[in-house]
Structures are given as C-alpha cells and as structure tokens.
Amino acid sequence: MKTILKFILLGGVIWLAADQFSGIAVSSFEYAIFTAVVLAIINVFVKPLLHIISLPITILTLGLFSFVINALIIMLLDNVMTGFSVASFWWALIFSVLISFANTLIDSLVGNK
C-alpha cells in the first residue's frame, strides 16, 4: 500500500513540475503516475549499469557525475514515453534534482519498509 501511495505522490510532483516549469510537459495526471512507474522501472534496470560504466568519471568528479546520469535517465524516459517530454538536457537536470528531492521527502513522510 505504501508503494502505491509513493507512486501517486511522485506522480503529483511530476504533474506539478510540468505545470510550473515550461520545459517539462505531461499530458495528464494519470500519465504523470504512469511516468513515475516507468521511471522506477528504468531506475531499477538501467541506472545501476550506467553507474558501473561511469564509475571512474564519478570518482573523478567526487560524485557530481551522478547528476548527469540522472538527467540522462530523464532524457531516456522522454524518448520512451509519448505523454512526457523535457525540452533540453538542462531541464532534465533540473527535473532530476526535483525528483530526487521529492523522493527523499516522500520516503521520510510515508516511510520505508
């Protein structure tokens, strides 16, 4: 039940971000929830591979390259889904920082397992 609540809350954050920022677009609230689910799936399967491949660069930049990896995942999400889009890499970077902050806040409110 907590997982469903987290997806709904994250979908709300995605929908609000699309409403407030001109570089991010989502077609509807339901699609924002679906975007949160697809983002979670991509984070489970693709993100660990990108972290392993880019480990030397991440160490060299003291972890700051992780922001670039998150932005690339958002750009991948833009290419995979039709109802979600970001205008540029910089909007993807801003959106990924916002999503990371929102996930931290949601986890602290709802709680982990």
Name the strand (E) or helix (H) holding 96. Answer: helix 89-110
50-60 pLDDT per residue, tens: 999 999 999 99
> What radius of gyration, in Å, describes the C-alpha atoms of the chain?
14
Distance CA 111, CA 113 (A): 7
pTM (predicted TM-score): 0.88
63-107 pLDDT per residue, tens: 999 999 999 999 999 999 999 999 999 999 999 999 999 999 999
The answer to whether 54 and 72 have CB atoms below 8 angstroms apart is no
